[in-house]
A and B are shown apart, each in its own frame.
Chain A
């Protein structure tokens, strides 16, 4: 039996404004340690909604969510923030770097928030992450001085800084061209294979999905197919 990092049990969610629309119906699945999983589906199938529930940012749902074996249902805002800080790394379609800080500081922010290490140590870790992603030379530049692909790599480094249990991505290559897309994918691949990082990526890029360990296909708020590749 493999260790389950994240487990969804019977998750349902409805939007009530303006009409009640059920976007997720009884979704259950789990992600094991060091697995590279992708969720695919058409626009509006509920895959992003599911990801935000899994990420603990969206708390209005029915069903159970276990992260590292612990239920997220009873935690308050502050505890959930702590969970996101320590256990989950995010990569979004848009990079969301803070322009007021340089790239190194952007990567360091969640680490400083965690507060387990001194700022010197966090800085050292941040440099290491940037080195893994091959952009350590850009550390002292500001986000607006980088290309789109570089920014996304800084965002990945930020997701890695607290050595999370799982990295979640919401269309991380959606804004990138073919070349940068491949670069980002290769980084994910490398993280999964060399560093045994668990990854859960939502995408509508089927080429991208095909290269992952497992593809979960969704349609109309339900999982219709799970295939290993």
Chain B
């Protein structure tokens, strides 16, 4: 009953100053719209840039690095136990970069509950032959199904089909940069040579575009079986095991565990790509700062309108107090006015924000380095909408709070006697 009465009075005062109310509400609408649009757009871009790296990067990578023996003969000498040793003459062994016992490791990993998937890979440096000259390149042997599932490999195959790699024997998917240099079309054959001199002919079944130009000039893909055939190695020959986890934050911890358990080198995504996290968080911080500034400015708008309304309605406030409305009631009336402006402005702002970001999401955005992206990326995260809604209410409440306090302190005697 009482709430209804206060709401009724608040609405009457709002309607009496309809134009100013609309202007104030529009201030909130504008700031919420921009807040949502800014964050959605920024969020979309962040995701895009992160995915450029993160989608293509395993959370944990197991490999064998060519390294000198960690125990040099001099360290076995008892004469200088604590000294620093400059003499190191045991060179790296002529060891294959193969992961030993890879089949057992993969089997063990597939049974681990933390792991979403495992994709084995072989990497070999090669030369592509074009007429008289040779271009250096890197050939990856992959499990096509696992790559598609874990690293969205097929999205990056711009010409041809990723599955043809699996279905056509001795086939290759060429990096688009390399293909341009080699002047080949899908269906042509090319010649490659490995670092130890083996020559091989492969059929081109597609082109690959990662978004990173330098990579596309050298990188090509064949199946695991093909690369094993080229190298003359058995089916257990694997140089890399790529692991995707369900929870990326567990990567550093599990990396340490696998390093010990499987006696291979292991690196986690956080260590390998530390700079991306930093970039994203700084961009997000900036967009929040701008958005919240907009909201605070809108808050000042409401503050002003209420200030004027209170001066104009001094008489009304005085008579309400004289006829039995307490300071608390008057306070509630003006808080209701402020929150109504905030709520209406905020809701309309959320809708406009959604609309504007949807429009931006339709604008064509074509870039050679991002073959899968056709329009500007937008992140429709409900978190942004929640923050926008909460902040619009908080700023309008704060703006209303001080003014309402002022209104509730008006002494009716001063006003009525002043006439």
Contact = CB atoms under 8 A, between A and B. Distances in A.
B2 A115 contact: yes
A36 interface: no
A196 interface: no
A85 B326 CA distance: 10
Contact of B323 (A94, A101, A109): A109
Interface in B275-323: 315-316, 318-323
B417 to A, nearest CB: 6
Contacts of A33: none
Interface in A35-93: 48, 52, 55, 57-58, 77-78, 81-86, 90, 92-93
A100 interface: yes
6 contacts: A77-B327, A84-B323, A92-B419, A100-B13, A100-B316, A158-B323
Contact of A77 (B2, B12, B16, B326): B326
Contacts of A112: 1, 5
B323 A100 contact: no
B322 A57 contact: yes
Nearest to A170: B416
A98 B323 CA distance: 12
Contacts of B319: 96-98
B413 A98 contact: no
B419 A94 contact: yes
Contact of A85 (B12, B323, B327): B323
Q: Which of A58, A98, A119, A162 has the most CB of B within 10 A?
A: A98
A114 interface: yes
A63 B411 CA distance: 21
B50 interface: no
B324 A52 contact: no
Interface of chain B, main secondary structure: helix
A57 B320 CA distance: 12
Contacts of A158: 323
A22 interface: no
A84 B413 CA distance: 13
A84 B318 CA distance: 13
B323 A90 contact: yes
Contact of B329 (A83, A94, A113): A113
Nearest to B16: A100
A173 to B, nearest CB: 15
Nearest to B316: A98
A8 B9 CA distance: 35
A52 B413 contact: yes
Contacts of A115: 1-2, 5
A48 B417 CA distance: 8
